[in-house]
Amino acid sequence: MKLDAPVQCYLPWFRVADPQVTAQLSMLDRLLARAPSGAGWQAEIGSP
C-alpha cells in the first residue's frame, strides 16, 4: 500500500462532501485523521 496514493485507489466508494478533496485525499491523510491526538475523548468533545 502506498501511503501517498489517493484513498480512492484502495476504497473506490470513499467520498467526502467536496469532490476535489476526495480526489486529493491520500491514505496517509486518512491514517493521520484516525490517529489519536493524545487527548481524552472528553477533552475532544469539550466536556469538563
Residue pLDDT, tens place only, 29-47: 766 676 666 555 444 455 4
Q: Kindly state the DSSP code that residue 35 receives in the 8-state scheme.
A: S
Per-residue model confidence (pLDDT) at position 5? 83
Euclidean distance between CA atoms 26 and 10, whole angstroms: 10
- Neighbouring CB atoms inside 10 A of 7's CB total 20
Residue pair 1/26 in contact (Cβ under 8 Å)? The answer is no
Per-residue model confidence (pLDDT) at position 6? 86
Residue pLDDT, tens place only, 6-30: 888 888 998 888 888 888 888 777 6
Q: Which of 9, 7, 47, 41 is nearest to 27 (CA)?
A: 7
Per-residue model confidence (pLDDT) at position 3? 78
